[in-house]
Amino acid sequence: MIRSAYIHIPFCEHICHYCDFNKMFLKGQPVDEYLFALEKEMQLALKMNPTDQLHTIFVGGGTPTSLNESQLKLLCTMIEKNLPYQNDVEFTFEANPGDLSIEKLKILHTYGVNRISFGVQSFNEELLKKIGRTHKPSDVYDSIENAQKAGFHNISIDLIYGLPGQTLEDFHITLQKALEIGLPHYSGYSLIVEPKTVFYNLMQKGKLNLPPQEIEAQMYELLMEKMDQHGLHQYEISNFAKKDFESKHNLTYWNNEEYYGFGAGAHGYVNGMRVANYGPLKKYMEPISLGNLPYIEKHKVSDMERMEEEIFLGLRKTSGVELAAFEKKFGQSLTELFKEQMIDLTKRGLITIDNGSLKLTHKGKLLGNEVFGSFIGVI
């Protein structure tokens, strides 16, 4: 039974220089038409693959809170009307600092939203300008204070390291300022330069001044060190939380569980199928108007792929992949099935078996993608 839903709102007031996920300028877009198509998609999807109760809902983007107040209320009303959830659901909205008016916060709180994730990225104002962000550090403090006054206590902020021109000292200062706020959840991601972005074009021209890999690795080690010092448990490679504040929705992905993906460009995992929606609004809305789901791609996940995914997604968690649970789920021993990879990665000090679970070592966390790749396409 599917227990999670991701809802994509692709609109932004401004597109950041590193963004590649399906996003578009808000001005001049058919927002209301999109929202009605989104509601129809929910109805079609739940009719085809019903669920009795969702445990997590995550509204991401884009910037969902870039919608005006009436549009935001319409979106929340649609979610309440069409998705089955109760008061104990983890209901998250992504937001940019400065986007959330008091009225918008009241709307979210009224409709049961209980978690907000702010895209902060840095507390260096000059660096924020360089990466295409429009908010200032002061907006972060104001937005968090307003959210807390509106009744939100489960608040997270995202940080990015390895940014162009960023130094280790600069990231240290950003971490200090972020941790001084005393939130229950933080995410820290290294910059990935994706095709079709401003940064990618600059990199192709040799004009993107990225920190050396060894400095980026030091930033990640500093991230882990400072989070630990402030009592925030690293439960996944890039995520840190106080007890009971881990992101239940993101754990859906890392536990390799199924979820709905609604909206233009959204991905889902439903009934053993990895599915992807059309990204352009017109192509997304057209099949829905004809009573069809807006899939551009469908892939039936093979048993081998499920096992590979179980490992490389599970290894992102610090709790790792439980060997007994893997064998019970798939009827095969992980250590036998991937014997050569296990021997090689263990010799290199990248993985370990601890209390019956396969886990990344500290060194393995620094070379995570290399470890994950070792388990893909080997059988």
pLDDT tens across the length of the chain (379 residues): 999 999 999 998 766 766 665 555 566 789 999 999 999 999 999 999 999 999 999 999 989 999 999 999 999 999 999 999 999 999 999 999 988 999 999 999 999 999 999 999 999 999 999 988 889 999 999 999 999 999 999 999 999 999 999 999 999 999 999 999 999 999 999 998 888 778 878 888 887 889 999 999 999 999 999 999 999 999 999 999 999 999 999 999 999 999 999 999 999 999 999 999 999 999 999 999 999 999 999 999 999 999 999 999 999 999 999 999 999 999 999 999 999 999 999 999 999 999 999 999 999 999 999 999 999 976 5
Residues 6 or more apart from 215 whose CB is under 8 A from it?
167, 168
CA nearest 315: which of 333, 342, 337, 340?
Answer: 342
C-alpha to C-alpha distance for 74 and 95, rounded to whole angstroms:
17
In this prediction the pTM is 0.95
Classified as helix, coil or strand, 274 is: strand
The pLDDT assigned to 17 comes to 62
Q: Which two tokens stand for residue 263?
A: 């909206």
Residue 161: per-residue pLDDT: 98
What pairing do the DSSP bridges indicate for beta strands 321-322 and 11-12?
A: unpaired
Helix axes 168-180, 213-229, angle to 10 degrees: 20
Q: What is the pLDDT of residue 328?
A: 97
Assess contact for 359 and 312: CB atoms under 8 A: no
- Angstrom distances, CA of residue 265 to CA of 4, 62, 76: 17, 11, 20
- Compute the chain's Rg from CA coordinates: 21
> What is residue 160's predicted lDDT score, i.e. its pLDDT?
97
In this structure, the number of other CB atoms found within 10 A of the CB of residue 48 comes to: 10
Distance CA 110, CA 73 (A): 10
Helix axes 102-110, 137-149, angle to 10 degrees: 40
Report pLDDT for 20: 65
Q: Decide if 186 contacts 232 (C-beta within 8 A).
A: yes
Rounded Cα gap, residues 284 and 115, in angstroms: 28
Which pLDDT score, from 0 to 100, does residue 327 have?
A: 97
> CA–CA separation, 379 vs 375, rounded Å?
9
CB 116 within 8 A of CB 95: yes
DSSP sequence for 259-319? BEEESTT-EEEETTEEEEE--SHHHHHHHHHTT---EEEEEEPPHHHHHHHHHHHHTTBTT
